[in-house]
Structure 1
Amino acid sequence: MSLIKSISGIRGTIGGKVNDNLTPLDVVKFASAFGTWLQNNKNKKDLTLVIGRDARISGQMVSSLVTATLQGLGINVVDLGLSTTPTVEIMVPELNADGGIILTASHNPKQWNALKLLNEKGEFITGENGAEVLALAESEDFNYAEVDDLGKYETRDDAFDIHIQQILDLPMVDVEAIKAKNFKVALDAVNSTGGIAIPMLLDKLGCETIKLYCEPTGHFPHNPEPLKEHLGDICELMKKENADVGVVVDPDVDRLALIDEKGEMFGEEYTLVAVADYLLKHKKGAAISNLSSSRALRDVARSHDSEYFASAVGEVNVVTLMKEKNAVIGGEGNGGIIYPDLHYGRDSLVGVALFLTHLAKENKTVSELRAGYPSYFMGKKKIELTPEIDVDAILSKMEQEYQNEDVSTVDGVKIDFENNWVHLRKSNTEPIIRIYTEAHSQEEADQLGDDIIAKIKSLI
């Protein structure tokens, strides 16, 4: 079964049986549920939704199904075509639309696709709203429009231009400083829409772009998650072309990984750290990430006399806390940059512009910049339990076991020790506890994970 229904949307593998995979009927049902939910909650007759998709092979098919379904409900559709997640998020308020749907499975392989749901602010709908949409999908209580009331359809081809211009207009993006450096940038866009949008931005910033996998065919040349083990080709290209910086994005361009001039990974956790370092140097304020992100962000924030706060895992949770704390910068350790002066969504394009500004102003190489940040290493393990074991009880025992340490129960149990931390989260679908650790060496991080597993087993 590869159909995952959650409060943030629906995703699954293309083909197969209804309710087991992401079939045309499932797409229609879920698009109907979201459209109906909007109609039930808006005090207006004519609704407009913005849609856009990444370049994956099933994108056009899924887009056609969603478009026709929304029109069938009497909802107007503005279709951006090939787009990015942050571009759709930008365009919803830009066009005064009532919401949006992004057709992307993000970093999942090519057989996957998804519908991600946005409110009128261009932000992901809340968990409560998502639950209401899921309930509507189960009930199939839909009322389609009669022929004279079908929704209108239009396309826009200027969304990237609008998105990029908004980035260039940001006071903290110094276009002239970047242009003066004549940066040579290598780009791996995994044959999706980043191959269109990022070169457009880099051109405006006066950079030379060396393109790798930038044709938006949807045929991903490697696993599309921007992790070190998948990025050997661009690391080699960096050395061959003597590029200054490498940029890697996932298919929907909301995650940004960086590579230094030596062909070494900057570290996905450190994309946010570097951008925060630049912004907090000029404006005091809060920095936000989730509980499983690196402690390096906290260290950098404190070095600028700014506060750091951690949210539960999930972009919606990060954004909620950012608004509460009026944060200067936030995001997730997977390379997701959320810059509220532009919009409340992970955005690789604004991440590139802010990072290049920082790099230009510091007058350092990428490796020199990275060397100036605290060095941490992360470990990820899991412990599988038998179904009859009460996972919540185990987590409660761990909280008690380490009550003299700095413990957070916002999302599972996170224990902050003086020199390292461990975060325990239960799976929502199986009797597993996921164990994330961070320390000053990989060996220490892995050992901490093993120690915690041993402690859990002793409490069972």
Structure 2
Amino acid sequence: MTLIKSISGIRGTIGGEVGDNLTPIDAVIFASAYGMWIKQQRNKEHYRVVVGRDARISGEMIQNLVMNTLVGLGIHVIDLGLSTTPTVEIAVPMEHADGGIILTASHNPKQWNALKLLNAKGEFLSGAEGAKILEIAESNSMTFSEVDNLGKITKNQAYIDLHIDAVLNLELVNQKAIEEVGFKVVVDGVNSTGGIAIPLLLERLGIHVVKLYCEPTGHFPHNPEPLKEHLTDLSQAVVKEKADLGIVVDPDVDRLAFIDEKGEMFGEEYTLVACADYVLSKTPGNTVSNMSSTRALKDITEKYGGSYQASAVGEVNVVALMKETHAVIGGEGNGGIIYPESHYGRDALVGVALFLSLLAEKHMNVSALRASYPSYFMSKKKIELTPDLDADAILKQMEVKYAHGTLTTIDGVKIDLANSWVHLRKSNTEPIIRVYTEAPTQQEADALANRIMDEIKSVS
């Protein structure tokens, strides 16, 4: 069982001992620290925080603990109930709230949950802000409100519909072209809130929707990370239904992947490439992704005369560099689309609408679209961390070993080779070292990853 405290929030497994896992006590302490931080930002009479959750089994319990902790601090809560991460993000500024909390552990299995924290813009906190909340939590210096000054909880379950309205109102979303094609789409909602939001969006676009695992029970039918090895049922359903494509999202709906009409993966990395292709064709400009993302985005950006830059891994880092470079689109290679015309957060609903607009305007099927892009292949592996493994020492040893090459060390160690690269970094969300590689063929990417894994084992 595990508890991970970081500048991006607190994440852990449910149950077990206080301080070692995400127990009710830990949830209350961290929610208290966040509430105290909110009140430190501005001196005002009333404070408001938006709270929503994915469909995890533990979600209702954790949400009630968090909301009532905020109430105890005199903070009013807007309760979205079952929602998505991007929906909470857009709700914060729409509600003129002081912040937001999403109860979700993203792609982690069902025993995990987390508190993801937002600022008044509906964006993830900066490193300094997150560090301050950790400091407050460690100091245990919280002051709660007296009985006449308690906060109140107001339910608002309209925001998924409001989110869909906002997506359809984006200038580049070609609703007419999508409706004219009459797509048939299979949706895998991994029994979380994507099973609510994505079908509603598609139906508004005039699409015939076939639902697969769209009941928000929190009992994930497969590993919830949208990778090829977890999507056998979706691939088979697309072929069986003779659908135009399949769509899968993670439990909190900020990651997006597609299956083509043949039941093959479009490629999680290429979700952003395709959406960027569409946006850049209409509004040329700069792009940003993180260091672990495919170089195909750089190729597409330069094709349209723009400039590409890579940030450290983490949505907050991508967003910061996007703002600095005035990027017109960006995101992460894990299927996270950040489109500033909507908001500065990964949003699968925005990604779906942009991708379908591209597909409809190009009059081509999904496999042909994928074949039109530069081909790179990635291997994504991980090394489980144990108490006797010093991750920082391992990364330092690999940095020394490859010191003669082209290295980037702003986030772990990235080694750029002649026609490939490898990125080694500690995960922010799991006790692992991630080992990502990219090469011209899958065999080369896998071989490079295996070689690096063997080298790490030899030095650890």
Other-structure match for 1:86: 86
Deviation sequence 1:161-201 (CA, Å, 0-9, x none): 21111111111101001000011010000111111111111
C-alpha contact (below 8 Å) 2:11/2:429 kept by paired residues: no
Letter matched to residue 34 of structure 1 = Y
C-alpha contact (below 8 Å) 2:58/2:113 kept by paired residues: yes
Alignment map for 1:37-116 (pairs within 5 Å): 37-116=37-116
| 5+ long unaligned stretches in structure 1 | none
Change (3 A) 1:247 1:241: same
Single out whichever of 113-122 and 299-308 deviates more from structure 2: 299-308
Other-structure match for 1:34: 34
Q: With structure 2 as the length reference, what TM-score do the two structures score?
A: 0.94
Other-structure match for 2:221: 221
Other-structure match for 1:234: 234
2:400 is the counterpart of 1:397? yes
Deviation sequence 1:123-174 (CA, Å, 0-9, x none): 0111111111111111111111111100021111210121111111111101
What is the alpha-carbon distance in structure 2 between the residues aligned to residue 81 and residue 102 of structure 1? 10
Residue 449 of structure 1 deviates from its aligned partner by 3.3
Other-structure match for 1:139: 139
2:154 is the counterpart of 1:151? no
Other-structure match for 1:310: 310
C-alpha contact (below 8 Å) 2:378/2:437 kept by paired residues: yes
What is the alpha-carbon distance in structure 1 between the residues aligned to residue 214 and residue 432 of structure 2? 38
Residue 446 of structure 1 deviates from its aligned partner by 2.5
Deviation sequence 1:61-83 (CA, Å, 0-9, x none): 11111111100000000001110
C-alpha contact (below 8 Å) 2:199/2:209 kept by paired residues: yes
Change (3 A) 1:27 1:277: same
Letter matched to residue 30 of structure 2 = F
Other-structure match for 1:205: 205
Residue 381 of structure 1 deviates from its aligned partner by 4.6
Residue 432 of structure 1 deviates from its aligned partner by 7.8
Other-structure match for 1:23: 23
Other-structure match for 2:185: 185
Other-structure match for 2:276: 276
Single out whichever of 39-48 and 389-398 deviates more from structure 2: 389-398
Aligned residues with identical type, % of pairs: 63
What is the alpha-carbon distance in structure 1 between the residues aligned to residue 211 and residue 109 of structure 2? 21
What is the alpha-carbon distance in structure 2 between the residues aligned to residue 249 and residue 27 of structure 1? 26
Residue 456 of structure 1 deviates from its aligned partner by 6.8
Residue 283 of structure 1 deviates from its aligned partner by 1.4
Q: With structure 1 as the length reference, what TM-score do the two structures score?
A: 0.94
What is the alpha-carbon distance in structure 2 between the residues aligned to residue 89 and residue 432 of structure 1? 28
Other-structure match for 1:244: 244
What is the alpha-carbon distance in structure 1 between the residues aligned to residue 121 and residue 13 of structure 2? 29
Change (3 A) 1:27 1:457: closer
Residue 17 of structure 1 deviates from its aligned partner by 1.6
Residue 57 of structure 1 deviates from its aligned partner by 1.1
Change (3 A) 1:388 1:422: closer
Other-structure match for 2:350: 350
Determine helix, strand or coil for the equivalent of 2:403: helix
C-alpha contact (below 8 Å) 1:391/1:431 kept by paired residues: no
What is the alpha-carbon distance in structure 2 between the residues aligned to residue 439 and residue 3 of structure 1? 35
After superposition, the CA RMSD in angstroms is 2.2
